[in-house]
Chain A
């Protein structure tokens, strides 16, 4: 009888610690990485995004629900470059999950796979919330997405060797479709080259770098600081000398400052999806770029 009870307790405890399904649990910090991992991993993975397109990934709290999720993750996929510095380290420390600590195979930083822009020469908080490792918003350049996909595909093969062939097929398929899409986007976006656009935060550096768009100014006086009326009128002065085509922002940013600048300069405001889920039409990375380019072109008219 006693033996029976302890057997039950042991099986109960084991059932708590071993995953119920064989799928690889992926914890992504942002929705763009959920889209990428779904492309590569298909049915062999189960993905979860810690944030949505309506949340600023700099400003997320280490909520209990996120700790519970990361505790059971086999792979963590995040932008890195200190974008999640306020919350990801806390989650990792709280979770005590050996597989996903930095340096382990279960920890993947997208920004670490590509060359980064905006690496500051001088690091000081008086320049705002700058990232020592460079601008972390790397997912807005499809060429960099391809490099990240390469690395992520290799990682999946290591974590789940049984699925190697499966991942290979999906990766080849993705690469083919993605390269074709890049060709098409570049064709569609030709008229955007050389255009000047005002941004809210420097989220768009990689997109603009790819398409040859020039940043005409930022609504944030320093990265991470809210726009002030004084800064907006300063921007206006610059824009009289050198005009810009539009003012862009993400779904999670306040439109107040953008609207104010628009009123006094007659430059139109365009909300871009920024990531997967940012508008209803954007359900994956392909649609993200298609919609973004269409919206930017719409802003030229």
Chain B
């Protein structure tokens, strides 16, 4: 009897010990997480995608038809020591039959400069806007807002340096500046010896009672651009012409988020309302590279747009959402034919889109989504349906606001 209890005691100590060792070792490895994203897309319209008034670039597209994989994302992050935090995210995706590995985020961030100051260096999503610095798998809709597609080629990411200061006030108030390379869309050419773009942002936020929380942000981005190429297209004769912009580009934006959960408990029910507005001014020259003789024009344009979306979790696991997008543009230049070739003629059309979403999350790590849009991005109206799963393997994700 006594012997038995001693043996049982030893076993339980052994179990306790081995589990502690496992947890201990895990702590020295980086947090690793893998996100799998699978989709089915259906479109009523098969003509080539365009967004009249916008020169598209980056990852901008309306997505693929039929069964396909979205970006598979592998992410590792960890505290490097007591001063630095490091993060690495790579996306693996297939583009036209070829598997491509893309470096998304690769950065080092300070943990303890103190006084609310944080510095970040490397490749990172800009902190402008609300959605921009979030990974698209944590977005509430399968695809990006039209204004993100039109201005940023889905998301603004660049190599450089960021400083931010959390001001020690009662209300949340954070300001930051970024200086970046300016080679990736929507910049181009890595002007000024590879420091062609910079950004500024200010964010405010707080609670109203126990059940409400809000955040308001202002953003500014500016770049000197040398030869920013956008989607090329072939003429009947076969010559491929690529529109290219050189000049100055400025983006200003405002974003707002309001969240509600009864007594602050978002487990059962919660509601989120968010909206962002951006306006871009560009001034410079547009050339059609590949045309003979070289066609070019002066270009002075403004593109703006906003979206408003609301997502409601009505019972645990289930959420519904609605999003409305609208864009506008006003582009002027000496040669309107060249502007039209470059996609800068809005053809008297205001792109808009309405989207409905329903998703189900079995746990925090798996989500299934059905999304339907009526897309009037361009003149041929499109009905789009997405089915999507997003699952996360590994480290527990952050509950960001």
Contact = CB atoms under 8 A, between A and B. Distances in A.
A96 to B, nearest CB: 5
Contacts of B6: none
A63 B399 CA distance: 9
B264 A52 contact: yes
A203 B23 CA distance: 21
B263 A52 contact: yes
A183 interface: no
Given A63-B207, A64-B213, A90-B400, A98 B266 contact: no
Contacts of B135: none
Contacts of B259: 61
Interface stretch (B95-103, B162-170, B242-250, B299-307): B162-170
Interface string B275-300: 00000000000000000000000000
Contacts of B396: 82, 85-86
B82 A103 contact: yes
Contact of B268 (A128, A132, A254): A254
Nearest to B166: A71
B400 A62 contact: yes
The winner among A92, A224, A226 for most chain B CB atoms within 10 A is A226
Nearest to B31: A89
Contacts of B194: none
Interface in A215-263: 224-226, 252-254
A56 to B, nearest CB: 5
B26 A93 contact: no
Contacts of B399: 59-62, 86-87, 90
Contact of B267 (A85, A90, A252): A252
A96 B166 contact: yes
A87 B204 CA distance: 19
A156 to B, nearest CB: 22
Contacts of A300: none
Contacts of A64: 172, 203-206, 213-215, 401
A132 B22 CA distance: 8
A142 B360 CA distance: 40
A276 B258 CA distance: 28
A196 to B, nearest CB: 23
Interface stretch (A26-34, A116-124, A162-170, A287-295): A116-124
Nearest to A131: B23
A68 B205 CA distance: 9
A121 B203 contact: no
A159 interface: no
Interface string A63-77: 111011001100000
Interface residues of B, number: 58
Contacts of A103: 82
B263 A65 contact: no
Contacts, number: 146
A16 interface: yes
A133 to B, nearest CB: 6
A65 B23 contact: no
Interface in A254-292: 254
The interface residues of chain B, by DSSP majority, are classed as mixed
B7 interface: no
A176 interface: no
Nearest to B204: A64
B398 A71 contact: no
Interface string B45-78: 0000000000000000000000000000000000
B365 interface: yes
Contacts of B22: 123, 132
Interface in B362-401: 362-365, 393, 396-401
A119 B19 contact: yes
B111 interface: yes
Contact of B116 (A51, A97, A224, A254): A97
A85 B23 CA distance: 14
Contact of A224 (B166, B213, B364): B364
A199 B23 CA distance: 27
Contact of A71 (B82, B116, B397): B116
Interface string B13-42: 001101110110010000000000000000
A103 B112 CA distance: 12
A254 B401 contact: no
B350 interface: no
Contacts of B166: 67-68, 71, 94-96
Interface of A: 16-17, 51-52, 54-56, 59-65, 67-68, 71-72, 82, 85-87, 89-90, 92-98, 101, 103, 119-121, 123, 125, 128-129, 132-133, 224-226, 252-254
Given A65-B207, A68-B172, A92-B111, 7 more contacts: A17-B115, A59-B265, A93-B111, A96-B110, A96-B113, A123-B19, A226-B316
26 contacts: A16-B169, A52-B210, A54-B210, A54-B263, A55-B263, A56-B265, A61-B213, A61-B401, A63-B401, A64-B205, A65-B205, A68-B172, A68-B205, A71-B166, A71-B168, A82-B396, A85-B396, A86-B399, A87-B398, A93-B109, A95-B116, A98-B113, A119-B19, A121-B19, A224-B364, A226-B316
